[in-house]
Amino acid sequence: MRAAIFLDRDGVINHDPGDYTKHLDEFHVLPTVMEALRKFVDGGFDLVIITNQGGIAKGLYGHAEVAAIHAHLERLCEANGTPLLGTYYSPHHPDYGASLSRKPGSLMIERACARYGIDPGRSWMIGDKPRDLEAGAGAGVQGVLMPVNGELTEVADRILSTLQQEPHV
């Protein structure tokens, strides 16, 4: 089974302006992201994006805008040699109805694990909000909380050094 790094998008991969990334021209990858993704892939992990996009439910942007942003991110990752295994998003917002897919629910992670044969016990969820880690925990995935718009390379180094310290069986 595969090991994966599940990544929240806004605030982890790209700059989170605090009021939704609505269009491609507002999507700016954070400075250390591509280096961190390279470290994860070199460490044997697949990469999966897990993101809430509640602005869709609020009518601030649509599925087409999210698709354009994700296609752009996929191209950047391919060019970096760090392809995304999958991208999952929930278009729901609790002010407009309940959804099992929205984080802190674990359904998006569970779907990725089932589809791609990912071992939750060997995987990590990285997010900038407690709900990201709650989603991971619900699927049996350990989590790391990082600052909004923080340094993803620091998280990568921490995870990879933890794995190097584990005894080999």
C-alpha 106/C-alpha 17 separation (Å) is 25
19, 26 in Cβ contact below 8 A? no
> Minimal CA–CA distance to 124: which of 69, 66, 46?
46
Q: Which of 8, 16, 128, 132 is catalytic?
A: 8
C-alpha 99/C-alpha 70 separation (Å) is 22
Q: Which of 10, 16, 46, 132 is catalytic?
A: 10
Q: Which residues contact 162 (CB under 8 A, 6 or more apart)?
A: none
Q: Which residues contact 10 (CB under 8 A, 6 or more apart)?
A: 16, 20, 21, 51
| Residue 10: active-site member | yes
Length of the chain (residues)? 169
C-alpha 11/C-alpha 129 separation (Å) is 9
| Residue 157: active-site member | no
> Minimal CA–CA distance to 142: which of 119, 114, 165, 117?
119
Q: Which residues are catalytic?
A: 8, 10
